[in-house]
Amino acid sequence: MKQSDFDVIVIGGGHAGCEAAHASARMGSSVALVTMKATDLGVMSCNPAIGGLGKGHLVREIDALDGVMGRVADRSGIQFRLLNRRKGPAVQGPRAQADRELYAKAMVAEFDRQENIRVLLGEVVGLELEGDSRVIGVVLRDGSVVRARATILTSGTFLGGMIHIGHQRIPAGRMGDDASNVLADQVRELVPRIGRLKTGTPPRLLKSTIEWSAVQHQPGDDKPTLFSFLNSKPLVEQISCGITHTNLTTHDVIRRNLDRSAMYGGQIDGVGPRYCPSIEDKVIRFAEKSSHQIFLEPEGLNSPLIYPNGISTSLPADVQEEYVRTIRGLENVTIAQPGYAIEYDFADPKGLQRTLQLPNLDGLFLAGQINGTTGYEEAAAQGLVAGLNASLSVTGNAPYVFDRSQSYIGVMIDDLTTRGVSEPYRMFTSRAEYRLSLRADNADQRLTPVGVSLGLVKDDRQYAFGKKINELERIGRLMRERPAGQYVRSDDVVVQSTRSAHDLLRNADVDLEAVLDGFEDAERPDIADLRQVANDALYAVYIERQAQEVAALRRDEGVRIPADMDFRMLNSISFEIREKLSTIRPESIGQASRIEGMTPAALVSLLGAVRRRGRDVA
């Protein structure tokens, strides 16, 4: 092949690349996805899990827009858990332990079903330019030129990738795969403000050498919450994970060998994620703690490997073996692959448009870790945005920008392009000022109509969504028409009320199973649909109030903060932000808003505290 022409080229077969290719293809564009190996499609380079707090919201939103990650995760999920179950639905996040092999197979099956995508095997060594400011395709190592009207670069950790194990340095995009160094050289010349970030992974353990009777077992949920709105129950066998802990002996081994760590020995320039620190970081930063939790996560139903989530490291292999064997249940464990840190190039996302296109390079979009994020979910969401807008640019249609009041996708894109990153960006629910309305459970109600209007959602999804909305409206009418009478709380207390049954749904303690018992069989709804109506009713008043608070916040940036304000007492704000406030001591709400890492939700809490302080003084 000397030359081929497509509408859109996607460079990279990771989570961002897979979602970008499918989004463009669903929009009707002809797509070429270029990857080094066929087995790269949907590979889980780090932990074998999808979702979590904030991240699970992103997966639900991807699914609402007919993306593939949610469906693939459901087909490979071997343990489902809804995190923050004891808290309100707004901050609950679905998470799944995944089978690596099943995940990759499910992703390949998605490619087989999707029209308009051609997977090309090869290494991209350069971008094909027209003049100095337009990208018109890519050049492969064999000299082939693949041209397109839009190109999406989803390079993950491959641009200038360097693995560190102690003082050993291995040029690689991940363990066993070569880095993209030739392409990295060109990107550094074309893209302004290239920097270095790093992430890490723990050693992989041989399952058969773990003493499972010595560790705690963690089962999944009895009633699993899946990712795709099209699925309701797990599709494969469900398993338990294990939990163990480090101890003081573990920490002593690590402290004695810190000078041999790549991160503490000066070999790494890139900044790593503070919220997912290495075991070396944990031992130093939290010196007062005598132990740290480790989740022993199976890498698959038939895999011999265990992923020990919580002990990422860049220590030498012999030190890894020594400290791992001090941990309960792991005294005789065999390490199948050492953990490592990986350093890679990223582009300052402040240089991007909110469509993820580079303004100085027409036709080039960036998505995933190249934009300074970390995590499969953040990458996939960016891939969807880039794939959608690349296709819109090809057809000459107006771009689509996700708003932060509409979606977590919008929150992430706005954060990246307006604030940039000083460390790998991870999604949290606290980043969203509208999180009461941006729930994981209502992602389809928020975004599927948007996807339909854009042409991003296929007919079967559109039909299923329409059927669901009709049912929710039917349930809402039934609940408004009937009196509440007696109702049962979740603690089995019977309460009498003269209000409508719909009004009762605003009480979080209402037993929905008991509510169902009041329906005739012919009109009895599904429990999942009733719970959705209840969630909407529960948050209706708060959503309106929240919107008013945020609007007021924008008017009150000039509010002065008392000089003696004790920020450490503001328990509604994260510890990290309280520490920053205490160090910087901003004089006004406006100044506080510009602190790196400050979230709109934290600003609302800070403004409320300042106002209460003013009332107390008066």
What residue numbers bound the domain in which 610 lies?
559-617
Residues 389, 430 within the same domain: yes
Q: Residue 617's pLDDT band (boundaries 50, 70, 90)? A: very low
Among 453, 486, 503, give the residue marking a domain's end: 453
Among 555, 575, 590, give the residue marking a domain's end: 555
Among 503, 524, 555, give the residue marking a domain's end: 555
pLDDT tens column, 122-161: 999 999 999 989 999 999 999 999 999 999 999 999 999 9
Residue 6 per-residue DSSP state: E
Residues 580, 531 within the same domain: no
Residues 221, 336 within the same domain: yes
pLDDT for 331 beyond 60 = yes
Q: Which of 440-444, 476-480, 570-574 has the highest mean pLDDT?
A: 440-444
Given this model, what pLDDT does residue 499 score? Answer: 75
Query: What is the rounded distance in angstroms from the CA atom of residue 189 to the CA atom of residue 559?
Result: 44
Residues 406, 327 within the same domain: no
pTM for the whole thing? Answer: 0.88
pLDDT cut 90: percent of the chain above it: 67
Q: Residue 453's pLDDT band (boundaries 50, 70, 90)? A: very high
Residues 214, 180 within the same domain: no
Residues 209, 259 within the same domain: yes
Residues 449, 462 within the same domain: no
The contacts found for 275-279 with CB under 8 angstroms, 24 or more apart, are: 275/426, 275/428, 276/199, 276/312, 276/374, 276/426, 277/312, 278/200, 278/312, 278/313, 278/314, 278/341, 279/202, 279/246, 279/254, 279/310, 279/311, 279/312, 279/313, 279/323
Residue 532, token pair as written in the block: 């959705």
Tell me the CATH number at 89: 3.50.50.60
What's the average model confidence in pLDDT over 205-216?
98
Phi, psi (degrees; rounded to nearest 5) at 362? -60, 135
Under 8 Å between Cβ of 40 and 13: yes
Residues 581, 541 within the same domain: no
Residues 32, 152 within the same domain: yes
Residues 510, 590 within the same domain: no
State how many domains the chain has: 4
Min mean pLDDT across 89-93, 202-206, 218-222, 508-512 is at 508-512
Residue 511, token pair as written in the block: 């037993």
Residues 130, 15 within the same domain: yes
Q: Residue 1's pLDDT band (boundaries 50, 70, 90)? A: very low
Residues 52, 85 within the same domain: yes
Tell me the CATH number at 284: 2.40.30.260
Query: What is the rounded distance in angstroms from the CA atom of residue 390 to the CA atom of residue 407?
Result: 20
Tell me the CATH number at 563: 1.10.150.570
What is the torsional sign of CA 385, 366, 139, 149? positive
pLDDT tens column, 337-375: 999 999 999 999 988 999 999 988 999 999 999 999 999
